[in-house]
């Protein structure tokens, strides 16, 4: 396709809109990714990609939706490369979600986030887009490049999982088992590298 | 199939804004999900983001590692 170079005024508009959605990108990324440092890396990667691809943005359309697609693709690529992005970050955690006055039993943000992170990624993102980001099913389907019915069913499944978890207090532990296993393997490798594994060598 | 975790609770939280997700009988955590998101939106932007934004205009080699 022919890219038309943007005028300085258009670039300025683009930059202003991009700046405005950065907090939303961070929130979306934080929901997808357990760790805030990785989430922020992802957002910065997204910003650079969005800037580089700005000719493909149609002025007047939703910058938030457009950049979410970029962020989502970057996230999926990272996941495929097996970068570690599913682990829960305690730093985010201990802000308490205080319920409005008059309500019993506040839900802790940390519980909420942890429960969210146990969902399969495609259900998690669907729920984040619709339930937190306020996108319609149609908008979410566009962002995820799938059918509206698929989004509806993912959101429905995500909701019933969370219902079960949060209602029964059956919230998973801090790290998922993969993370623990992964760390154990790394520690073992470190030990070997440090010379503790020499028995078997030569 | 959908369990209401608030069964018996008198004061359902008011769902603010239009909920296009169709969760009219939103459980308590649904509000928490939005708060989780909003809490990040409302965080002040770390300097690194402002730095990056200011570098975007610079010519080409803006390879901010």
Helix (H), strand (E), coil (C) string for chain B: CCCCCCCCCCCCCCCCCCCCCCCCCCCHHHHHHHHHHHHHHCCCCCHHHHHHHHHCCCCCCCCCC
pLDDT in tens, B8-52: 333 344 444 444 444 445 677 788 889 889 999 999 999 999 999
CATH architecture of structural domain A7-86: Orthogonal Bundle (1.10)
* Nearest residue of B to residue A42, measured between CA atoms: B49
- pLDDT for the residue numbered A117: 87
* Nearest residue of B to residue A43, measured between CA atoms: B49
Helix locations, A33-136, DSSP H: 36-52, 63-80, 90-93, 109-118, 121-127
Contact B30, B23 (CB under 8 A): yes
User: Which residues of chain B lie closer than 8 angstroms to A24, CB-CB?
Assistant: 41
- The CA distance from A26 to A44, in Å, is 9
What's the distance, Cα to Cα, between the start and end of chain B in Å? Answer: 49
- Token digits for A88? 């829960």
Measured between alpha carbons, how far is residue A177 from residues A29, A34, A76, A172, A183 in Å? 22, 14, 21, 10, 10
- pLDDT for the residue numbered A59: 92
Cβ of A26 within 8 Å of Cβ of B2? The answer is no
Helix (H) or strand (E) segment spanning residue A29: helix A8-32
- Weakly modelled stretches of chain A, pLDDT under 50: 1-2, 88-104, 174-178, 180, 197-202
- pLDDT for the residue numbered A3: 55
Domain assignments of chain A as residue spans, ordered by start: 7-86, 94-196
If you classify domain A94-196 with CATH, what class do you get? mainly alpha
From the list B13, B37, B52, the residue facing A44 with the nearest CB is B52
Cα A103 → chain centroid? 29
> CB within 8 A of A161, min separation 6: which ones?
A118, A119, A123
């Amino acid at each position: 396709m022919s890219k038309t170079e943007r005028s300085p005024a258009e670039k300025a508009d683009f930059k202003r809109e991009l700046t405005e959605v950065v907090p939303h990108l961070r929130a979306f990324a934080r929901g997808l990714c357990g760790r805030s440092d990785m989430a922020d890396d992802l957002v910065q990667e997204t910003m650079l990609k969005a800037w580089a691809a700005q000719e493909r943005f149609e002025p007047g359309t939703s910058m938030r939706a457009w950049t979410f697609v970029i962020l989502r693709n970057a996230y999926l690529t990272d996941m495929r490369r097996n970068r570690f992005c599913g682990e829960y970050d305690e730093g985010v955690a201990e802000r308490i979600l205080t319920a409005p006055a008059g309500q019993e039993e506040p839900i802790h943000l940390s519980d909420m986030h942890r429960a969210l992170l146990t969902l399969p990624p495609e259900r998690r993102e669907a729920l984040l887009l619709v339930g937190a980001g306020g996108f319609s099913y149609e908008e979410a389907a566009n962002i995820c490049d799938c059918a509206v019915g698929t989004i509806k069913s993912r959101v429905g499944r995500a909701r019933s999982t969370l219902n079960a978890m949060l209602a029964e207090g059956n919230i998973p532990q801090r790290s998922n088992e993969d993370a623990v296993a992964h760390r154990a393997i790394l520690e073992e490798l470190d030990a070997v590298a440090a010379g503790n594994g020499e028995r078997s060598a030569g | 199939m959908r369990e209401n975790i608030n069964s018996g609770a008198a004061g359902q939280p008011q769902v603010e804004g239009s909920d296009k997700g169709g969760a009219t009988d939103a459980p308590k955590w649904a509000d928490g999900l939005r708060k989780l998101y909003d809490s990040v939106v409302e965080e002040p932007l770390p300097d690194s983001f402002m730095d990056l934004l200011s570098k975007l205009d610079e010519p080409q080699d803006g390879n901010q590692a």
